[in-house]
Structure 1
Amino acid sequence: MKEHRENDFAYQAVYRYLTCLINEMEAETPIKLPSLRQLAERLSVSISTIQYAYSLLEKEGRVYSVAKSGYYALPVSLNAAFCGGNDLLETLYVSARRPGVLVMSTDEPALLQSLDSPLLLLERELVRQYPRQQQPHSQPCGELELRTALAARYTTSPTRCWHADDVYIGADLRGVLEILIAVLALKGATVLVESPCDWVILRLLQAAGVRVIELPLGDDGSLDPQWLAHLLATEPVRLVLLSSGVSMPRGSLMPAANRQDIAHLLQAHGCWVLENDVYGELGHGPNELRFRDLLDPERLIVFSTFEKLMGPEAPYGYVLSRPLSAELQRTFLLRSFRLSPIRQKAIARLYSSGRIDQHLPVLRRLLTERKSRMVHLLQERLADALDFVEPAGGATLWARSLRPVDMRRVFQRMLKQSVVIAPGELFSLHGLHSQHLRLSHAFNGHHDLDATMAMLGDALRLELME
C-alpha cells in the first residue's frame, strides 16, 4: 500500500485491494467485509479513505451496507445470477462492474476533468499545517470553513443570503437525502417530483414509504402550470422537488416564463420546495434564474454534491436550509458522519482560491465537445430510430425510440455486446419513459463510439422485427 500511495491516490489503492478481496471469495452467500477501522489499521490509511473506497464500490453495486452491521459483498457467482433477475437497476449495476464493458449508463461529468489532483495536493499541504493532535473536535454538520464557503457561493442578495449555520454536509448525497426525508417526516406524505427523475432519489423516496406523484416535463422542458395547480388544490402535497437549472436526466432547461409561472404557483400555495442543485453549475450556457432566486427562502431547501463537479475524491453531499436549523442540527448530530476535516478544508480552499471558477469553464467545454460528437453520431446513425433532446448541460443524452420497442430487450442485446445503457423506465416509479434511454457521453478510456452507435441502431431495429 505504501508503494501505491507514492504515485497514486490512497483511495484507489484501497479500492483495488477491496475489488481483489471480493473477487477471491468462493462462498455462495453474502460475505461480511472488514470494518472501516479494521481496514484502516490493516492498510495504514485513514478511516475516511476506507469510507470513500466503500462508497464508490457501493455506488457500483459491488457492496451494500447494513445499518449497525457493516458492509457486505456478493461473490461473483451470485452477482452473475442477479443478471437474470427482474430488478433492472440491480442488473445494470452488476453488469457495469464486468471487465471490458463500455458503461454508457453512468452520469459522471468529472470523469472528463476532475479536481482530484489539486484537491489532494491541497490536503497534503493542510496536513502539515494542521497536525492531527491539533485538529479541533468533530463538527457534526461539517467543517466550518467549507460551510462558510458554500454559504457565500449561494448568497446573491441581502434577502437571499445564506450563512454557515444554514449549511449541512454529509458523507454523500444519499446520506443527506435520507436525513431530509426523516426531518421532513415524508413517510406516507405526498411529494411531487418532476419526471424523468434520478433513480437514486426515486428509490430513496420509495423505500421511505413516500407517495410520489410524477410531473412529466414537456418537449421544451416545461411543466404544465394547470396540472400543477390542480394537484396543489386537490392533493395533500407536502413537498415539491424540482431541478434548479438543467433538469437531469432529460438534460433540458425550463423556459424562463414557465419557471416564473411555476414559482408563482408554489409561492401562492405556500409549498415546501426541495431544489436539486446537483447539476446547477454544469449547464452548457450562461446561468439562468434558479427557483431559489424566485421563492421564499423560508420554504426552500437546496441539496447538491461536490462529486459531479470535482470527482470521486469529493463525494460529500450538502444541504442548505434556513428554516429547519434545529431539526437538521439534531439529526446530523445523531447521524454522526465521520468526515475528514482536512479534506473538507481542502475543498473550501478550492472555492476561496478561485480554483473552482477556473475549472468550471474547462469542464463545460469538454462536456460540450463530447455532447456535440454524440449528437452528430446519433443524427448520422440513428435518425430513423431515435428522437433525442439536445442536452443543455450535464454528461448524458436523453433519447426516445421513434417506434414502440421493448427497451429492456434492447438493454439485454447491448449487454451481449458489452455495452451498458440506462433504460428510461429506471427514471420513473409509475411506468413512464418505457420508450426512452439515457446515454452517457463522458466515460473513461478509448472506445469506438461510432461502432457502439451502430450496435445500438441494430439492437433497436432487431426489436422491431421480432
Structure 2
Amino acid sequence: MSATFPPLARRLDGLQSSAIRDLLKLTSRADIIGLAGGLPDAELMPRDRIAAAADAALSDRSRLQYTESPGWGPLREVLAVRESGRLGRAVAVEEIFVTHGSQQALSLLSEVLLDPGALVIVEDPAYVGALQVFRAAGARIVAVPLDSEGMRLDALRTLLEAGERPAVVHTVSNFHNPGGVTLAPQRRRELANLAERYGFWIIEDDPYGELWFERPSPAPVATYSPNVIRLSSASKILAPTLRAGWMIAPAPVCRAVELLKQGADLCGSALTQQITAELLADTDWLAGHVDTVREVYGARAGALVGAMRARFGDRIVSTDPAGGMFVWVDFTDGTDTAALLPRALDAGVAYVPGNAFAVSTDYTRSMRLCFTTSDAATLTEAVDRLAKAHGGV
C-alpha cells in the first residue's frame, strides 16, 4: 500500500539541491580526480593539535554541558580580539555570535533581515549556498556581474538609481567562490558608502580571507560601515568538522539571531568551540600552520593554472588565483561544460559546470576547478584527463 502524506510547506517549491553536493556523490570513486568539491586538504588539517585540545577540554566534565546560544564565552573573547585586529577597531564581545559554520549564520540572517519578496543582490556567478538560503527565504534575487576586481559597482549603482531597494547585498569579498576574484579596496569603500546612502545591509561572506598567497587580503568591507555584517569560519584554516563559524554584527542583529538560534538548535557544540578557542588563541602556532597551508595551496594553484594554459592554450581564459581555493575557467571555443562533464567523468576527472552558479548569466562555457586537495603531479594528470575528454587537445 502506498502512503499519502500531508503536503509540505510551499517555501520548498522551486528549491533545488546543491549541484556541487550532488556531484560529489558521483565523484567519490577512487579512480576520479576531484576538482569539483570546495574541500580543504585533510592532510593539512592539524589532527594532533586538535586531539590535544580535545583532550584538554574533556578533562573537565563541566565543559560537557550546553553552552550559551551566542557561543562559548572564551571563544567569543578570542574572536573579538582577532576581529579587532582585522577591522582596526575594538570589536565588543556582544558583536560576536558563534554559529554552526558560517552557513548557519547566513541562514539565520536570512530570517532576521528578509521578509518574503525582499530584494537581495548577489554576485554573478554566485555562491551556491547563498542562493539556496535566499531562495528558501522567498527573496527576490537580482545578480550583478563580477570582473577582475570583484562585484561591478557600476552595475549595482545602475540598479539603485533605477529605484531598486535591496534589503541585503551579499558579497564573497576575498577569493570569490566560484569566481576566484577579490573585491578591490576602492570598491569596498564605495560599496559601504552605497549601503549607508541607500539603507541596505551588506553581508560580507569571508571564509577564505586568510588563505592569501603573496599579499594579505584587503581590509574587510566591515571596516568602512556599521551596515556590514561580516561572516567567517575556522573550516578552511583548521578543519570543517569543528563547524565553528562566526558573525560580527551590531548587537541588535546578534540578539535577533539569538532568538532564532534558540529555536533551531539551542546552542552549538561547547566541545568543538573550546577546541577552536584554544587553537585560535595560540597565535604563534596558528601563524605557522596557516603559512604552511598558504604555501601548499599557492603552489597547487600555480600548477593547475599552468597545466590548463599549457594544454588548452587560447581555448580558455582562467583566473590567476591570489588566494582561496578556486580557479574559474571560460572556454573560448564554444565548449559546453555541462555536456563535457559526462565524458570528463568517464576519463576520470570531475569539475563543476559554470551553470551551477548562474543567476541571470549563461555560464554554459565556464567551469569551476578546486586545486586544494591534489598535489601538482595529480593536478597535471587531471588536466591531461580533461584534455582527453575534450577531444585530445
What range is the shorter-chain TM-score in?
Answer: 0.7 to 0.9
Q: Which residue of 2 is the match for residue 70 of structure 1?
A: none
Deviation at 1:397, TM superposition (A): 1.0
Q: Which moved more, 1:188-197 or 1:310-319?
A: 310-319
Q: Which residue of 2 is the match for residue 440 of structure 1?
A: 370
Q: Which residue of 2 is the match for residue 179 of structure 1?
A: 108
Matched to 1:410, the amino acid is L
Is 2:44 the partner of 1:113? yes
Is 2:158 the partner of 1:230? yes
Q: Aligned residues: percent identity?
A: 22
CA distance in 2, matches of 1:238, 1:410: 38
Is 2:143 the partner of 1:214? yes
CA distance in 1, matches of 2:64, 2:381: 53
CA distance in 1, matches of 2:321, 2:86: 30
Structure 2 length-normalised TM = 0.87
The structure with more radius of gyration? 1
Q: Quick one: which of 133, 148, 151 aligns to 2:77? A: 148
**CA contact 2:108–2:260 (8 Å) conserved in 1:** yes
Q: Which residue of 2 is the match for residue 373 of structure 1?
A: 303
CA distance in 1, matches of 2:384, 2:115: 45
Deviation at 1:316, TM superposition (A): 2.5
Q: Quick one: which of 152, 168, 174 aligns to 2:97? A: 168
The equivalences for 1:370-449 within 5 A come to 370-443=300-373, 448-449=378-379
> 1:359 aligns to what SS in structure 2?
helix
**CA contact 1:116–1:312 (8 Å) conserved in 2:** no
Deviation at 1:162, TM superposition (A): 1.9
The equivalences for 1:17-56 within 5 A come to none
Q: Which residue of 2 is the match for residue 193 of structure 1?
A: 122
Structure 1 171/88 Cα, relative in aligned 2: closer, same or farther at 3 Å? closer
CA distance in 2, matches of 1:251, 1:432: 18
CA distance in 2, matches of 1:159, 1:447: 41
Q: Which residue of 2 is the match for residue 51 of structure 1?
A: none
Q: Deviations over 1:229-279 (max 9, x none)?
A: 121231121111112333222211233333333333233223211111111
> 1:252 aligns to what SS in structure 2?
coil
**CA contact 1:244–1:292 (8 Å) conserved in 2:** no
Q: Deviations over 1:356-387 (max 9, x none)?
A: 22211111111111111112211211113211
**CA contact 1:195–1:428 (8 Å) conserved in 2:** yes
Q: Which residue of 1 is the match for residue 27 of structure 2?
A: 96
CA distance in 1, matches of 2:185, 2:361: 29
Deviation at 1:461, TM superposition (A): 4.2
Q: Which moved more, 1:172-181 or 1:444-453?
A: 444-453
Instruction: Indicate the structure whose relative CO is greater, using CA pairs within 8 Å and at least 6 residues apart.
Output: 2
Structure 1 length-normalised TM = 0.74
CA distance in 2, matches of 1:86, 1:291: 30
Deviation at 1:401, TM superposition (A): 0.3
**CA contact 1:300–1:321 (8 Å) conserved in 2:** yes
Structure 1 177/258 Cα, relative in aligned 2: closer, same or farther at 3 Å? closer
The CA RMSD measured in Å over matched residues stands at 2.8
> 1:374 aligns to what SS in structure 2?
helix
CA distance in 2, matches of 1:206, 1:425: 17
> 2:179 aligns to what SS in structure 1?
coil
Matched to 2:229, the amino acid is I
Q: Quick one: which of 315, 320, 338 aligns to 2:248? A: 320
Q: Which residue of 2 is the match for residue 274 of structure 1?
A: 203
CA distance in 2, matches of 1:164, 1:278: 20
Deviation at 1:189, TM superposition (A): 0.9
**CA contact 2:97–2:254 (8 Å) conserved in 1:** no
Q: Which residue of 2 is the match for residue 61 of structure 1?
A: none
Deviation at 1:87, TM superposition (A): 8.4
Q: Deviations over 1:416-446 (max 9, x none)?
A: 1232111111112334322110111111589
> 1:289 aligns to what SS in structure 2?
coil
CA distance in 1, matches of 2:32, 2:391: 22
CA distance in 1, matches of 2:208, 2:354: 19
Structure 1 416/178 Cα, relative in aligned 2: closer, same or farther at 3 Å? same
CA distance in 2, matches of 1:415, 1:229: 42
Instruction: Name structure 1 gaps, 5 residues minimum.
Output: 1-28, 30-65, 68-84
> 1:162 aligns to what SS in structure 2?
coil
CA distance in 2, matches of 1:307, 1:374: 23
Matched to 1:310, the amino acid is L
Q: Deviations over 1:72-113 (max 9, x none)?
A: xxxxxxxxxxxxx99854651321233432211012234351
CA distance in 2, matches of 1:339, 1:142: 7
Structure 1 451/117 Cα, relative in aligned 2: closer, same or farther at 3 Å? same
Matched to 1:367, the amino acid is Y
CA distance in 2, matches of 1:402, 1:180: 39
CA distance in 1, matches of 2:121, 2:357: 14
CA distance in 2, matches of 1:308, 1:164: 23
**CA contact 2:230–2:248 (8 Å) conserved in 1:** yes
CA distance in 1, matches of 2:276, 2:182: 28
The equivalences for 1:51-66 within 5 A come to none
Q: Which residue of 1 is the match for residue 13 of structure 2?
A: none
**CA contact 1:112–1:442 (8 Å) conserved in 2:** no
Matched to 2:153, the amino acid is P
Q: Which residue of 2 is the match for residue 308 of structure 1?
A: 236
**CA contact 1:110–1:311 (8 Å) conserved in 2:** no
Q: Which residue of 2 is the match for residue 126 of structure 1?
A: 57
